Amino acid sequence: MRQTIIAGNWKMNSSKEVVNTLVMGILSGMADVKSKVIVCAPFPYLSQAEALATHSQLQIGAQDLNVNASGAFTGEVSAEMIKDFGVTHVIVGHSERRSLYGETDEIVAEKVQVALDNDLTPLFCIGEQLEERESGKTEAVVSRQVNAVINRVGIEAFKNIIVAYEPVWAIGTGVTATPQQAQDTHAFIRRLLADHDSDIAQSTPILYGGSMSPVNAEELMGCEDIDGGLIGGASLKAEDFLHICKAG
Ligand code: PGA
C-alpha cells in the first residue's frame, strides 16, 4: 500500500507574512490529515518555514539545487545548504526549470543523483508539452525522461525517489488532465519502472501535478496509480491545500 503524498510547490511566490499565515493555517488543520504533506518554499523562506513546522508532521522541501557542493557558483544553492534548514525533499526537473532554464534530461538526472547522495528525497518531475501529447508522443517523452534518471542512478534508487507526472499543458492553466488521461500515463510510468524491477515499480509513489484543486483532487487521487499531488496554485491558500490533503 503506497502512502498518499501531497506536496505544495509555492514557486516564486510568498513573503514573510504570507509564509506565516500559510504554514500556520496548514498546521491548524493537519490533525485529521493522513497523507504525508510537504511544502516546497523558495530558498529565502526555508528557515522560516522550518521554524514554524518544528515538531509537526509537515515536511519542508526546496524547489531546486545546484549539483556542486560549494564554490564559485554565484546565485546558486547546494544540497548541503538546504539540508542545513531541515529540508527533506527537493523538486528536481520541474517543467519550468526544463523550459525556462535549459535543464536537460542529463542535468535533471545529475540533480537527482546529488539529492540522493545528500539524503534528500527528490520529487522528480516529468511530463509532456501540449504538442507532444497532440502528436502522440507522451509515452516517448516520459520514457526518455525516466530512462535518463534510471541510467544515471539505477532502479534501486527509486526506493528513495518520488515521481511527479505533470503534463506541461495542465500546469497553471486550469486545464487538468482527465482522471483517465492521468491514470493511463501513471500506469505507463509504473510499467516502465516494472521493466526494471516490479517490486520497486509497485512501491514508487507517482504524484499527479497540473491544476489539481479541491474540486478535482479526490477523483484524480482515486485512480489506482495516482498516489498524491504536486500542487502549485492551490497550495498558496491554506484552506484549498488542506482540502486536497484531506482528499488524499
Ligand atoms: P499548478 O502547478 O497546480 O498551479 O498547475 C503545479 C506545478 O507546477 O507543480
- Does the C-beta of 168 come closer than 6 Å to ligand 1? no
Q: What are the tens digits of pLDDT across the range 199-211?
A: 999 999 999 999 9
Catalytic-residue membership of 94 = yes
Q: What are the tens digits of pLDDT across the range 19-61?
A: 999 999 999 999 999 999 999 999 999 999 999 999 999 999 9
Q: What was the pLDDT predicted at 130? A: 96
Rounded to whole angstroms, how far apart are CA atoms 3 and 114?
25
Q: What was the pLDDT predicted at 203? A: 98
Catalytic-residue membership of 166 = yes
Chain-wide mean pLDDT for the chain? 97
Q: What was the pLDDT predicted at 1? A: 77
Q: What are the tens digits of pLDDT across the range 141-200?
A: 999 999 999 999 999 999 999 999 999 999 999 999 999 999 999 999 999 999 999 999
Return the closest-CA partner of residue 175 out of 225, 126, 215, 218.
215
DSSP assigned state of 124: E
Cα(208) to ligand 1 centroid in Å equals 10
CB proximity list for 48: less than 8 A, separation 6 or greater: 16, 19, 20, 23, 41
Which contiguous run of DSSP H or E holds residue 62? strand 58-62
The protein residue whose alpha carbon is closest to atom 7 in ligand 1 is 232
Q: What are the tens digits of pLDDT across the range 104-145?
A: 999 999 999 999 999 999 999 999 999 999 999 999 999 999
Instruction: Please say if the pLDDT value at position 248 is more than 90.
Output: no
- Does the C-beta of 175 come closer than 6 Å to ligand 1? no
Tell me the whole-structure pTM to 2 decimals.
Answer: 0.97
Which of 231, 236, 241, 243 to mutate to test ligand 1, by most ligand atoms within 8 A of the CB atom? 231
Cα(71) to ligand 1 centroid in Å equals 32
Atom of ligand 1 nearest to the CA of 170: 5
